[in-house]
Structure 1
């Protein structure tokens, strides 16, 4: 096996060359490699025109738009680039599509949302339910497995179930759900399934064909790219749903769900992000198509991050008064991403965050928009958790620095 090239990986990220900061705030947004920054700047300099013109700058913008949709399709393993809707962020896309989907539903129809999700995958659907008179059912996660279990979903499904909003990986506990099994149950009952893959995408490569869902959403700024939201939907479904557009826009897909002038420079950055992931695959000893190289990169990321996660969780659980919120057994790391949250019996979560920030270590405290998980776990909504998020460019010495600060606070 090729040794993980951590120094080569880190050299791709300008932020890591400019300071000793330990960026462990990755669940909220990851760093961006140089090639993404360069692609954004180059596009702003040479292709800042709107689409559809007969002059060169506009034609360059057209090509960038198309390339980004093709790259996004490759990232999620879509059947066609036309299945990709790209917008400002996942939450905005969810609110937009909630308006669209609501037009296919009737009062009394049932939707299911989970106690595991970020508010971006709850609030849009609650608003949809309120506007259309829908019945909302809440799907809990299991406090022992830290995952959503199929039997709990089965208990909520009925002939009136029309929609399930499902979390792939938790932004608080890091738990990864068996979304393929859960999707199969919901679709067999006649429901549409929307997957929030925002927290999975920095660590594992999504595959909509393997999942079998109807929609999958993620955000490229969570997987080393620019601030964009990415939505995949089944082509036949997207064509059948009511459009959400201005009158003179195309009725084809994805145009019928695209509003306003696209962020062409960020679309260029998205393509460069996919190319970075393929480059990382090559750097870790993998070859093949762009997606195959991406898959290789993610396999390398996963193995490397698991080592850092093992050290962080082992160090935290050895400290007095620390309570981990998530899977701690290394044998079950396949069921989690390296987002590690904890509380302490006497030290405020915000005190931990402040002390770590003073040592140039970035982490988050609070509920981090995981409002329902905080409630489900009986946590203070104001205090929430201390959240430490590992990415493939973090180093072991950063984990050691972090544990040292936490140990001083609890000793």
Structure 2
């Protein structure tokens, strides 16, 4: 187990324990598969699976009872909220769980839109997943609100933050942006966006961090946003959504909920119905996995928050090594075009590609025949694909790396891409 490995405070990437890490993922033992589908969902780590099974085997119950399974489930749920708070640098009462990010965003959009009036304005971007666009478009339509669009540069894949001030005004009620693009990997400068939004408006800043949380340290206070959502199944945990919000904003909002839920902490007011307690248990196991790995890199006596950050420093350094290897190889295949940032800087390890004379779905099929798993299409980033002019040609081939991938898998993928490109020349 990772928790039993000795601490080595050497360079994170150089000493990254990839063999021990891969041993923590049962799915990686099946066949000779290369999982490059992480932006759509990662494999679950063994501590998360074990925690989920333990909770179900020991007995589950709804909250509020005087009997043992209800008491134990409540304690586990409290611990899961606290663990997720540590991962995001937040307080436990600021954390709410839901079935997925999309459902939470739709719920938050309805609560926020209660305050909107005819003539108000919101800002959404062309770089986002539709789960951070469509809910706001629907709410704006319902409330008679004007939608303004923040564009991105198709050549660099970066948001045109320089144009944001002109989109803001006294009637701006919301700015919705992504932490990172799920299609081309761009890592957005959320603190810079927050500074502009707060200086020029009183708008709520909502961040879809589904693609950024798996790869970079996330501290909500440093980001400067008001609300943030992410998805544990994108970072080795269960299918679930997470909402974080500033307490003063959450206390002001009135979520659509049943009346007995009125006494819950502010963020938990969005936890409508009976939640998946087994998923919350698995979330605890996921944090335990990060914590154990972080022990290897953190100082002796470090807190859980410090150990989690140490783990993510190690992830990022290792993923940068893998990304450099992939980027170098892609440059050697003339018919492959990379969309988005051209270097490791300013991106997460998600790469959107096209291959000359080969539709993305055909490339994905060819990779799948070699047991290399990747997605093709628009991945719900319909605005991105349209802005790049790729909607009619099938969108993108997407390769997504994470810290359980290996250099050998990168080489195998590059060899396959070179063969696919050669066949279509």
Cα offset, 1:382, TM superposition? 6.0
CA distance in 1, matches of 2:35, 2:136: 32
Residue 271 in 1 paired to residue 284 in 2? yes
Cα offset, 1:322, TM superposition? 1.3
CA distance in 2, matches of 1:395, 1:129: 45
String of CA shifts for 1:233-292, please: whole Å, max 9, x gaps: 000110111132101223332342221011111101111111111111123455511111
CA distance in 2, matches of 1:410, 1:345: 7
Residue 207 in 1 paired to residue 207 in 2? no
With over 3 angstroms needed to count, the CA separation of the structure-2 counterparts of 1:381 and 1:199, relative to structure 1, is farther
Contact 2:211–2:234 (Cα < 8 Å) also in 1: yes
- Secondary structure, in 3 states, of the residue corresponding to 2:345? helix
Cα offset, 1:144, TM superposition? 4.1
Cα offset, 1:320, TM superposition? 2.1
Aligned equivalent of 1:192, options 197, 204, 217: 204
Contact 2:108–2:255 (Cα < 8 Å) also in 1: no
**Which residue does the alignment assign to 2:334?**
320
**Which residue does the alignment assign to 2:176?**
165
Contact 1:194–1:213 (Cα < 8 Å) also in 2: yes
Map 1:369-388 → 2, pairs under 5 A: 369-380=380-391, 383-388=394-399
- Secondary structure, in 3 states, of the residue corresponding to 2:66? coil
Cα offset, 1:30, TM superposition? 0.6
Residue 38 in 1 paired to residue 50 in 2? yes
**Which residue does the alignment assign to 1:139?**
150
Residue 362 in 1 paired to residue 362 in 2? no
Contact 1:116–1:372 (Cα < 8 Å) also in 2: yes
Residue 298 in 1 paired to residue 309 in 2? no
Cα offset, 1:47, TM superposition? 3.3
- Secondary structure, in 3 states, of the residue corresponding to 1:378? coil
Aligned equivalent of 1:227, options 210, 216, 239: 239
- Secondary structure, in 3 states, of the residue corresponding to 1:155? helix
**Which residue does the alignment assign to 1:391?**
402
CA distance in 2, matches of 1:166, 1:123: 12
String of CA shifts for 1:10-57, please: whole Å, max 9, x gaps: 111111123211011000001111110010011111232111110001
Cα offset, 1:325, TM superposition? 0.5
CA distance in 2, matches of 1:69, 1:29: 22
Contact 2:155–2:339 (Cα < 8 Å) also in 1: no
Cα offset, 1:146, TM superposition? 2.1
String of CA shifts for 1:298-328, please: whole Å, max 9, x gaps: 1111111111111111211221221111112
String of CA shifts for 1:162-201, please: whole Å, max 9, x gaps: 1000111000110111101101211221110000100011
Structure 2: runs of 5 or more not aligned = 1-9
**Which residue does the alignment assign to 2:37?**
25
Contact 1:108–1:133 (Cα < 8 Å) also in 2: yes
Cα offset, 1:152, TM superposition? 1.4
CA distance in 1, matches of 2:271, 2:38: 28
Cα offset, 1:145, TM superposition? 3.7
Residue 66 in 1 paired to residue 66 in 2? no
- Secondary structure, in 3 states, of the residue corresponding to 2:167? coil
CA distance in 2, matches of 1:143, 1:291: 37
Question: How large is the RMSD of aligned CA atoms in angstroms?
Answer: 1.3
- Secondary structure, in 3 states, of the residue corresponding to 2:176? strand
Residue 410 in 1 paired to residue 421 in 2? yes
- Secondary structure, in 3 states, of the residue corresponding to 1:227? coil
Contact 2:107–2:255 (Cα < 8 Å) also in 1: no
CA distance in 1, matches of 2:368, 2:340: 23
**Which residue does the alignment assign to 2:296?**
283
**Which residue does the alignment assign to 1:259?**
272
Residue 124 in 1 paired to residue 135 in 2? yes
Contact 1:198–1:219 (Cα < 8 Å) also in 2: yes
CA distance in 1, matches of 2:182, 2:296: 28
How many residues of Structure 1 are paired with residues of Structure 2 in the alignment? 407
TM-score by length of 1: 0.96
- Secondary structure, in 3 states, of the residue corresponding to 1:131? helix
String of CA shifts for 1:84-120, please: whole Å, max 9, x gaps: 1110110100001111000011011000000000011
- Secondary structure, in 3 states, of the residue corresponding to 1:334? coil
